[in-house]
Amino acid sequence: MANLLSKQSARELAKKQTQAIHSSTRQQASVSICSHIIQLLAPLIQRKKDLIVGTFAGTSLEPQLSSLHDLLPEASFCYPLSGKNGEMDFYLVSRPSELVEGRFSIPEPDPTLHQLIHPSKMDLILCPAWAYSKTFHRLGKGGGYYDKYLEKTPKLLAYGVHFESLFWDSLPQDSHDIPVCSCISERKIRTR
């Protein structure tokens, strides 16, 4: 069904589906998603002690990943700062409480306080989206920020983070849309 929709219509449908998930259910799902992320990262942390993870500060409708700071103290986390023309950079952040309200009212790092992380220093990135498809494509919010970032960092492992009900059979996609290598929901980890 989603492949017959325009991207904007698919975003509206995904937003409605997300809003229909009770906040306590989203909170419980976020805990399970964090457990799956820890399971996925455990072998990487054993091999590399200074793991740098690109993550995001979710809006109230997105999975909440801030507990990863406490659950994975051996990892470092960096967060995106969105710029003009769909560009973004990641900055090292010690605690999610250091983030400030940024563009689109999304918590972001302060570039005057946080260290810019070159993409080659990041080990993986956790990507938010309205929905993901069985081909591991993401339906973002429409700015192209993650697609542009992933395009310039083709060796970076990209993991999609989503609620299970937003893993669809298909999504409308364009030639510039870049799939992730795995999708992580509260129910399971899926790998291409």
pLDDT tens column, 95-138 = 999 999 987 788 999 999 999 999 999 999 999 999 999 999 99
Does residue 184 form part of some domain? no
What is the pLDDT confidence band of residue 176, given thresholds at 50, 70 and 90? confident
Element (H, E) at 35: helix 23-47
Structural domain of residue 85, as residue ranges? 2-174
Please give the tally of structural domains in the chain: 1
- CATH assignment at residue 11: 3.40.50.10420
Does residue 191 form part of some domain? no
Q: Return d(Cα 142, Cα 29) in angstroms, integer.
A: 24
In 3D, which of 51, 7, 143 has the Cα closest to residue 88?
Answer: 143
